[in-house]
Chain A
Amino acid sequence: MDRRRFMVAGLAGSAASCARSKSPWRLFSVQEARTVGAVCAHIIPQDQDPGAVEAGVVVFIDRQLSGFYKPLQKAYRQGIAGLDRESANSTGHAFADLPAATQLDMLRRIERSPELKPFFDMLVAHAMQGFYGDPRHGGNRERASWKMLGVASPPLRGRA
């Protein structure tokens, strides 16, 4: 394929996928992203410093799920659905719509539930990566966590 045809094919492909989905995310639906964000906001809460959501952890996870974490797409889809189902069964609402204190109670329960614990543990691990890891992967926006820890970004020594 020559360069021009490649470009055209690429554009056609992205146009098609845009038409299929109204979600601004690569993988998540709008609702799925809300749920993930609501959980991450408890894993690393916002205080005087940005929390997971403010630092772009959901962007990090969404991006990795169409990259290196592609094999985990199914686990995410099922985990998010399981969490929202659990939430609907016990409160009648989606997890993201619950008050923060109720959410936290539910997460502490889920942490001990054999069914949802693996998903929650994975979310904790990925949130830490997105928050404390390198900004190039979509999280740690404006090096938020490094600023919080007092670790300068390195303009002087070497290339970032």
Chain B
Amino acid sequence: MKRVNAVVVGAGAGGGIVAKELSEAGLSVVLLERGKWYTAFDCRKDDLRNQRTSVLGNAFGPDDERNPRVAVDLKGRAHLVRASGPGYSNNAACVGGGTLSYGAMAWRYMERDFCMRSTYGHVAGSTLEDWPISYDDLEPYYEKAEWEIGVSGDDSGNPFRAPRRKPLPMPPLAPNREFEILQPAARRLGLHPFHIPMLRNSVPYGGRGPCMRCRWCVGFACEVNAKGGTQNTVIPIALATGNCELRTECMTRQILTDERGRVTGVEYFDAHDRLRRQDADLVVVSSAAVESARLLLNSKSALYPHGLGNRYDWVGRNFQGHSYTGAFGIMPEDIYDDLGPGASIAVCDYNHGNPGLAGGAMLANEFIRLPYQFVGMLPPDVPKWGQAHKDFMRSFYRRAIAIQGPTQEMPMFDARVEVDPNVLDHWGIPVARLSGDKHPHTIEIGAFAAAKAEAWLKEAGAVRTWKKLAGPGFTGGQHQAGTCRMGDDPKTSVVNRYCQVHEIDNLFVIDGSVHVTNGGFNPVLTIMANAYRASDHLVKGWKGTRYK
């Protein structure tokens, strides 16, 4: 096949943006995506088959049949896991990646999220470290992501937010009932509640209509395209340049290198399982923390016997994500308003500055809980079945509020992605093997956040509350991050501050894998901002026909 300037592996939050930035700058780009390109018509609104509740399968991939993984439990036993099953750490496999079906919270990390080590010092047992870049380095690109993809909300009421030059481009959605209840309660507690920023149109924006406020949001594609993901924003722009070709259902097997150790392209299986080779001047890996690490580790050669970028055994390390902790509350009366997306109000009072804790968590009310989802949220003392269970569902479904947030995680060197020595996927490629645990301090931070969430619900008048706490085990999941750490020292990181693999100048990793720490926030806007920043640098270093 015709040689191109760049191959981007993965059309998700990071890869979609890289493809757009590179093709707009005149580079020829092939964007490889292992999944399909779904549209708004594939929304389906199926309570049992979506990306959040996958008891009848993943709506947007990967499929169970071809994509097994191995997960190692805390007793060291390895289990073969299905893509839609527990322990898989799934993110969607489709054009747009997780951004097709996410809840779309659009958080900027705070300044201290980029310098956790200098803020809190060494945390024993954790690889907690500073990013090589600061919030200021990323700020212009946060702004670009907010305005190009489109963010609604209003964080002007958040005194803890990091400085921004421009406000958000769209106002928040009108408050729902939970917002009206939780806002005054938060203020009485001395907290600073505000409207959650979301990659979601509240008014027409970017040629797409506003949110119609349906019940089926997180886990589902938006049938009116009000949620902005890369599949309905930057990827169509990339294709319109004429410089970018999107190839779907293409599974990359390995990155190819020459005898000098530079990258020459990739080998992949196309939609008909034929092995193809695409030569390129540079390769960008944007497959999310599990699959990006897997691809680097599977790209072995005489020069790179342990995989690419893995000279010092850092690829796949520091696998992280978020555990969500918080609380549920039963209100004295019916408060269900059926006004999606549900999540509307947040506080950042507990992200930093908590006595004795290295970090914290943002707290927000939760998306609308579909009836089946609520089954899994009942208090521990309610029977799991029978009349009492049914009575609880009937009496309290419309009276429940949930508040929770993503815990700032203490990275663990031994929480990791490897390639399994035995198990192969449908294409004969060694699968990802996930193992490791949570740092005990992560669990402590989560318990602190849960207590704060419970106090907020009580102040709001909840007559009964119960907590949701984090258990042991690695996190990963849709917020997966950390496996190709960004850093200045090649001995303790995989990529440099420009997301370039230390030892290979024409190989980049641009996705959540490079996050040193993952904030107490949903990571997607940071993945997007960093993709804009890394692309910017890449384009500036582009010398006509080759990368220097």
- A interface residues with partner B (beta carbon < 8 Å): 42-45, 47, 49, 51, 64, 68, 124-125, 127-129, 132-134, 136-137, 145-146, 148-152, 154, 157-160
Cβ-based interface call for B214 (8 A): yes
A133-B223 in contact (CB<8A): no
CA distance A150 to B334 in the complex (A): 10
Pick from B371, B384, B387, B390: contact of A151, CB under 8 Å = B371
B213 partner residues in chain A, CB cutoff 8 A:
157
CA distance A51 to B334 in the complex (A): 23
Interface residues on B, range: 20 to 34
A44 partner residues in chain B, CB cutoff 8 A:
385, 389-390
CA distance A127 to B332 in the complex (A): 29
Residue of B46, B334, B386 most packed against chain A (CB within 10 A): B386
What mask results when residues 363 to 392 of chain B are scored 1 for a CB within 8 Å of chain A, else 0?
A: 000000001101100000000111101100
Q: In the complex, what's the smallest C-beta–C-beta distance from A147 to chain B, in angstroms?
A: 11
A150 partner residues in chain B, CB cutoff 8 A:
334, 336, 397-398
B45-A158 in contact (CB<8A): yes
Given contacts A127-B385, A160-B45, contact A68 B372 (CB under 8 A): no
Cβ-based interface call for B73 (8 A): no
CA distance A149 to B373 in the complex (A): 13
A151 partner residues in chain B, CB cutoff 8 A:
215, 336, 338, 371, 397-398
CA distance A44 to B55 in the complex (A): 19
A136-B46 in contact (CB<8A): yes
A134-B46 in contact (CB<8A): yes
A133-B397 in contact (CB<8A): no
B397-A149 in contact (CB<8A): yes
Cβ-based interface call for B48 (8 A): yes
B398 partner residues in chain A, CB cutoff 8 A:
149-151
* Closest partner residue, chain B, to A46 (CB atom): B390
CA distance A145 to B212 in the complex (A): 24
Count, A-B residue pairs, CB within 8 A: 84
A124-B385 in contact (CB<8A): yes
Given contacts A134-B46, A159-B45, contact A43 B223 (CB under 8 A): no
B393-A154 in contact (CB<8A): no
Residue of B216, B336, B385, B387 most packed against chain A (CB within 10 A): B385
Pick from A45, A64, A128, A134: contact of B387, CB under 8 Å = A45
- B interface residues with partner A (beta carbon < 8 Å): 43, 45-48, 55-57, 212-216, 223-224, 334, 336, 338, 371-372, 374-375, 384-387, 389-390, 393-394, 397-398
* Closest partner residue, chain A, to B222 (CB atom): A158
B48-A133 in contact (CB<8A): yes
B43 partner residues in chain A, CB cutoff 8 A:
158-159
CA distance A25 to B387 in the complex (A): 27
B47-A42 in contact (CB<8A): no
CA distance A39 to B435 in the complex (A): 38
B371-A132 in contact (CB<8A): yes
CA distance A62 to B375 in the complex (A): 22
A43 partner residues in chain B, CB cutoff 8 A:
385-386
Pick from B56, B384, B386: contact of A42, CB under 8 Å = B386
A124-B394 in contact (CB<8A): no
B385 partner residues in chain A, CB cutoff 8 A:
42-44, 124, 127-128
CA distance A51 to B390 in the complex (A): 9
- Beyond the given pairs A45-B386, A148-B394, A152-B338, 11 more chain A to chain B contacts, judged by CB atoms under 8 angstroms and listed by A's residue number, are A43-B386, A125-B55, A129-B372, A132-B371, A132-B372, A133-B47, A134-B46, A134-B48, A149-B393, A151-B215, A151-B371
CA distance A159 to B43 in the complex (A): 9
A133-B372 in contact (CB<8A): yes
List the 8 closest A-B pairs by CB distance, nearest first.
A132-B372, A132-B371, A133-B48, A134-B47, A43-B385, A149-B397, A128-B375, A133-B372
Q: In the complex, what's the smallest C-beta–C-beta distance from B233 to chain A, in angstroms?
A: 21
Given contacts A68-B57, A157-B213, contact A149 B394 (CB under 8 A): yes
* Closest partner residue, chain B, to A60 (CB atom): B48
Can you list 29 contacts pairing A with B, beta carbon distance less than 8 Å? A43-B386, A45-B386, A45-B387, A49-B390, A128-B375, A129-B48, A129-B55, A129-B372, A132-B374, A132-B375, A133-B47, A133-B48, A134-B45, A145-B393, A149-B397, A149-B398, A150-B397, A151-B215, A151-B338, A151-B371, A151-B397, A151-B398, A154-B214, A154-B215, A158-B45, A158-B216, A158-B223, A158-B224, A159-B223
CA distance A125 to B212 in the complex (A): 32
